[in-house]
Amino acid sequence: MHFLKRYLGRHPTGSRYFLHTLLPTTVLGVVAAASAGSAPWFIAVIWFLCYLIAALVLELLLRQPQDELVRRVVSGPDAEAVYRSLASVEEMIACSHRVELLAGTLKTFTERSANIKALHERHRAGAHVRLLVMAPRGEGVRIANAERGDRVNQVDAEDLSDEITRSINRLLLEFSRAELREILRLYTGSPHLAMTRYDDQYIMTMYTHGRGGSSPSLAIRRGGPHEAFCEALDRGFQELWEAPSTTTLDRHDEPVRVEPGRHS
């Protein structure tokens, strides 16, 4: 039943075509056969009643995923808590045709090699993949370091830069540099939130002062009352992607060195 609900939620148009076109055609065929004497009338009546019951049940199932689509909101004290309510990162990547990440250092994502592998497989399969990460030597790193210093007594000014560099190095263990040049861009500002889009699912982490992935997180599905909000998120992502100060990997002034065997 859970699989059927998920399928109906992903394919409402095709499901309704089957429900309201193919099934009625079959009913008409049985009625025609009964009229011609090829089948008893009670078969046509039973078939018609079965269609009515199936139509009612399927329509109710079709409405339920759509209600979840526009109403369901999942929140948690951090991104990990939200994912526990949904699915693992690699599972969500594996079933998505569009994956976009707006991140700070990308540390949490790249700590699991399974995430990187799943992302690479989807990219090679033709999925739309884009990553936005802070530039290791950008002004945003300096600001984020200062904020982190307010929360922790001692902070190495190179910590965030090293985190970003390690994240990119981990990506380069799966992606070629040419592939990463297509899907990765580095922005110079300081992030206010992290956002991941898996098709119509948006997961946001709203950075609190001095915190990264341990900040409160929220997941919503696009549609209904969330449509305009999600459009604004997409617009903000695109504007940052195209900003003159945002650079590709090869244009960045601090070349990234690959460190073999750094999977974690």
| Cα separation, 180 vs 168, whole angstroms | 9
Question: In the prediction, which pLDDT does 85 show?
Answer: 65
| Cα separation, 38 vs 160, whole angstroms | 78
| Cα separation, 100 vs 97, whole angstroms | 10
User: 57: how many CB neighbours lie within 10 A of its CB?
Assistant: 11
| Cα separation, 43 vs 158, whole angstroms | 77
Question: In the prediction, which pLDDT does 191 show?
Answer: 78
Question: In the prediction, which pLDDT does 260 show?
Answer: 39
The tokens of 49 are what?
Answer: 């009643």
| Cα separation, 246 vs 251, whole angstroms | 9
DSSP 207-240: PPTT-STTS-EEEEESSGGGHHHHHHHHHHHHHH
Does residue 170 sit in helix, strand or coil?
A: helix
Q: Are the CB atoms for 249 and 256 separated by under 8 Å?
A: yes
Q: Are strands 217-221 and 201-206 parallel, antiparallel or unpaired?
A: antiparallel
Question: In the prediction, which pLDDT does 84 show?
Answer: 65
Contacts of residue 95, Cβ cutoff 8 Å, sequence gap at least 6: 198
Residues of the chain with pLDDT under 50: 1-13, 64-71, 253-264
User: What are the two backbone dihedrals, phi and then psi, of residue 20, each rounded to the nearest 5 degrees?
Assistant: -105, 0
User: What are the two backbone dihedrals, phi and then psi, of residue 255, each rounded to the nearest 5 degrees?
Assistant: -55, 140
Q: Dump pLDDT digits (tens) for 159-170.
A: 788 889 999 999
Question: In the prediction, which pLDDT does 151 show?
Answer: 66
Q: What architecture does CATH give domain 73-248?
A: 2-Layer Sandwich (3.30)
